[in-house]
Structures are given as C-alpha cells and as structure tokens.
Amino acid sequence: MKNIFTENLPTKLMALVMAFALWLYAINRHTGDLSATVSLTVSVPEGIAIVEQSTEEVTIHVQGPQNVIDTVDGMIKDHKIWAQYVIRESPDGIEDQLKQSIFIRREHLDLPPAVKLVSVYPDKIDVVLGKLQKKKLKVVLQKKGEPAVGYSVVNEFIFPGEVEVTGPLSALKEVSSINTVPVDISGISGEQNRTFPWRIEIDKRVAIRRGDKTVSLPVECKEDVRVWLQIVEQQDTRVLGKIKIKIISPAEYPYLIKLQDEFVEVKVKGPKLLLDKLNTDDVILYIDVTSLKPPGPYKQPIKSILPKNVEIADKLPEAHLDIRETQRSAEAR
C-alpha cells in the first residue's frame, strides 16, 4: 500500500502542478464583462466649495476573470467601489468662482489589479468651484403639517434672528436669509405653549436663482436657534337663526305684551370648536318689560345670555313691542 503513494513521486507531483496550472488557465480564460453606475465624489481643499457639478455618477465598463468580475459587481452594489477625484486648486487662485473640467481615469477607481477598465461615461466632468466666505443671514422658520383642528399658529419668535453661515461667495452675495430644517407642527394645540422653546437646526443649503431655475447650494452653519410659537384656538363666526325672544316681567304682570317679531337671527363669534357644537338652545335672548306700562308701542334692546367665550358678533336689533291692558287690569282700575 505504501508503494502506491511513493512510487514515481516526481511524476505525480509534476502532474498535480500541471493540473493546477490548467485549472488556473481555464479560470482566467473565462473573461467577464460588467457595466455599472458608480457614485462620483469630488474633494476640494479647505476654503473652496463645489458650486456646480455636471454629474454625481459615472458608468464604468470593465473586463476581467469572471470570478473577479462577480466580486466587483457585488462591491459596487454594496457601494464599496466608487469614483473619487481630488482637486488641488488653491483658494488664492479663485476670485469668485472658477470652472474646471476633470477626467476620470483608472486611478480614480479602486478596482482590483486583475480588472481592466474599458471605458468611463462620461469621462469628462465639469465642476464650478467657489471661494468660501462668511455672512450673517436672517433665519426663516420652515414648518410642515397643520395644527390640530380648531387651532392655529398666530405668532412665532426665533432667537437668534441671524446666524453666521459659511458658503460660496457667488451664492451668499445673492441671499439674505436661510431656512431652518422643517419643523413638524402636525396636531399641535394650545398644550404645546408650555413646551417652548424648541431647539431647531439650520438647513445646510441655500436656494438661489440661476436663469429660469432654482439651484440649491451647500453651506455650513455651526449654530442652531430656539423657537417659540403662540398657538391659539381658531376664532370664527356663525349665524344662528330663529331664536325666540323671551320676555322678562314681574310676577302678576298685569299687561299684555305683543312682539312685532318673536324670532331673531343672531351672529356670534368665538372659538371655532365651540361654535361648531353650538345650537340655538345654548343662546338666550330676552327683553325686560318690568318698567314698561301702556300705552305702547315701545322699542327695547334685546339682551343675551351666551356660553363662556362666545360673544355677539353684530349688534342685536331692537325689539318692537306693544303693551296693552288686559280686561282684568282695566276692571281693577
């Protein structure tokens, strides 16, 4: 048995080496192709910002052994391979902004040595570089969502009202304000008045006009602001019709009262949520005839009793009434 493994050992080793070499040859001979889109990162020195960039992605076409190509495909999908270009321009060489064209080559892609880069599209990228400066900008509060039904934001206060921003000179000279990040006010009510101030971050971009379109450019701001909002119940008006006028008189009032109009239309104002639930039984209208005696006619002010926080929006009309003696009161005299 031992002789089986030891006989002709050099020949057997040579055969093993040749078989391994043949396997490698077969693997490498099987060449794969891959076209994929990768992100493009352009880095700039301190004191410079990228104002415009023609594209942030490039499409690469590569070839190589199929097993390596499969590995590269997986790395691209996992965002482990991308294009990166470093600009060496000095801020001293830029007065305001400077346009440059850069070309993406193999050295800008972290590809395995066994992979051949066939093409890059586009291989020429246009960038506009801007010199950075600092500027004080007014803070504008950005809100999203709507308060709870029946509530509204009637006032807002931001401190500080201005923040220092660092950004491209060409952009900052065109703007005077910067937004906060959007603040979600969905569903807030008067209860939130006790939770202020809120600490809010500043947006990291400013919007400027470039011809007929709006361009968003990156800026830096190391500050945040505190925000106070005044949230109140929405006020509204509502018309209530056909409310009967009550007559207030002493007991044993000896006269007969006749109203020209027994019902009146009333316009009230108050919190919208309260008015939505209001009905005619909640409003009392009356006139006091205690001091009135015949003969009439009379004009008397209509008085009202209303729920809390509800008021008469328009002046109530006067009541036209006539007072007559009853037969019993005439006989008593």
pLDDT over threshold 90, residue 150: no
CATH fold of the domain at 132-233: RNA Polymerase Alpha Subunit; Chain A, domain 2 (2.170.120)
Put simply, whether the predicted model's pTM sits higher than 0.85 gets the answer: no
Amino acid 81: pLDDT:
94
Nearest Cα to 267, choosing from 246, 287, 237? Answer: 237
255 bridge partner residues: 325
CATH class name, domain 235-327 = mainly beta
pLDDT digits (tens, 9 = 90+) for 15-71: 676 766 665 555 555 688 999 999 999 999 888 888 889 999 999 999 999 999 999
C-alpha 202: how far from chain center = 13
Topology match between the domains 132-233 and 235-327: yes
Amino acid 21: pLDDT:
63
Amino acid 202: pLDDT:
95
Residue 151 structure tokens:
């509530």
Residue spans of the domains in the chain: they are 28-131, 132-233, 235-327
Distance CA 18, CA 24 (A): 10
Mean pLDDT in residue range 153-169: 93
Distance CA 220, CA 203 (A): 9
pLDDT digits (tens, 9 = 90+) for 207-261: 887 778 777 888 899 999 999 999 998 899 999 888 999 999 888 888 888 899 9
pLDDT digits (tens, 9 = 90+) for 179-216: 999 999 999 998 888 899 999 999 998 888 777 877 78
CATH 2.60.40.10 correct for 28-131: no
Amino acid 168: pLDDT:
87
